[in-house]
């Protein structure tokens, strides 16, 4: 099992989040899809992992540094791309960027982030960009060119969430996904805001619009909002042909995020990807999929040294 200290720290963080965030925000972040079997599988898999101690020579200082895609990391872990972090904390992606830089690791920035990529890279140059193929190839081209021009050199293309987005039973009605916090929305969520006044105040200071400045604009020329994000992702599910096209367009390192099988890992290598991220989107896309930790050995074996294998 994981150490009691590690598990206690994780559980403590969950308790703090539940205490400080409005219920809708907490459930959106914490919850999985349908019966949440994959959420439980992920957690159970990590609980099964224990230490394999080597004694007598274990007193020397341990070196955690490693290199990924030419970037030196102080430890083999970094913040993964996530959407609209400002919902959880008013500093949003800028806060994550500062923390990642201080820790000596890169940062993953999602296309559905709340801060323009140019602002984030000014804080932390080692920012790696994550892409949903919103707007198809045309929209993706715009997003990739912007990310490259801003200075990002590693691209994650997320493929698992678009494959299947089931009903989310824990939050069966849409919550916290309006395009803008207007009077009607404020009234609807008032009971939650009243008991979380500090969160509400900090969030409102950051602006009322719930929009994604790094995503391509809608066909009507409007900035993509939270209300339309999931639909926009489902409208353009990527294919292997699309990934080959991305490989041709993107001059930097390419990581395919959402790989959990040997077959897909080998195909990713065949199209020229530099890496894969073993990910099931935290169990909030497709339920009953395998735990990432259990899928990891299969993917590593299939990669056979042709790919850098990450795990989310």
Catalytic residue among 90, 124, 228, 281: 281
- The candidate with the shortest Cα–Cα distance to 153, out of 275, 260, 259, 296, is 275
Q: Which two tokens stand for residue 107?
A: 């940062």
Q: What is the dihedral of CA 67, 86, 199, 88, to 10 degrees?
A: -50
Whether 188 is a known active-site residue: answer no
Which residues are catalytically annotated? Answer: 281
């Amino acid at each position: 099992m994981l150490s009691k200290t590690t598990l206690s720290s994780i559980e403590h963080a969950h308790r703090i989040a539940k205490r400080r965030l409005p219920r809708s925000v907490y459930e959106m972040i914490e919850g999985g899809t349908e019966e949440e079997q994959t959420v439980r599988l992920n957690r159970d898999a990590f609980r099964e992992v224990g230490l394999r101690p080597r004694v007598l020579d274990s007193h020397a200082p341990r070196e955690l540094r490693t290199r990924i895609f030419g970037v030196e990391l102080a430890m083999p872990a970094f913040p993964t791309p996530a959407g609209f972090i400002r919902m959880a904390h008013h500093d949003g992606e800028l806060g994550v960027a500062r923390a990642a830089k201080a820790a000596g690791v890169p940062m993953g920035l999602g296309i559905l982030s709340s801060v323009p990529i140019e602002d984030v890279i000014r804080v932390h140059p080692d920012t790696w960009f994550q892409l949903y193929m919103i707007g198809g190839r045309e929209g993706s081209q715009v997003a990739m060119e912007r990310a490259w021009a801003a200075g990002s050199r590693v691209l994650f293309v997320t493929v698992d969430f678009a494959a299947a987005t089931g009903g989310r039973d824990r939050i069966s009605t849409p919550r916290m996904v309006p395009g803008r916090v207007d009077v009607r929305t404020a009234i609807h969520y008032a009971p939650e805001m009243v008991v979380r006044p500090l969160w509400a105040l900090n969030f409102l200071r950051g602006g009322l619009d719930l929009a994604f400045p790094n995503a391509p604009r809608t066909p009507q020329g409007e900035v993509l909002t939270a209300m339309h994000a999931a639909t926009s992702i489902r409208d353009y599910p990527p294919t292997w042909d699309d990934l080959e096209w991305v490989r041709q367009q993107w001059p930097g390192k390419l990581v395919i995020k959402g790989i959990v099988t040997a077959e897909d890992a080998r195909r990713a290598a065949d199209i020229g990807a530099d890496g894969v991220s073993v990910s099931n989107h935290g169990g909030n896309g497709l339920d009953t999929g395998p735990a990432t930790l259990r899928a990891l050995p299969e993917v590593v074996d299939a990669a056979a040294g042709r790919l850098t294998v990450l795990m989310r």
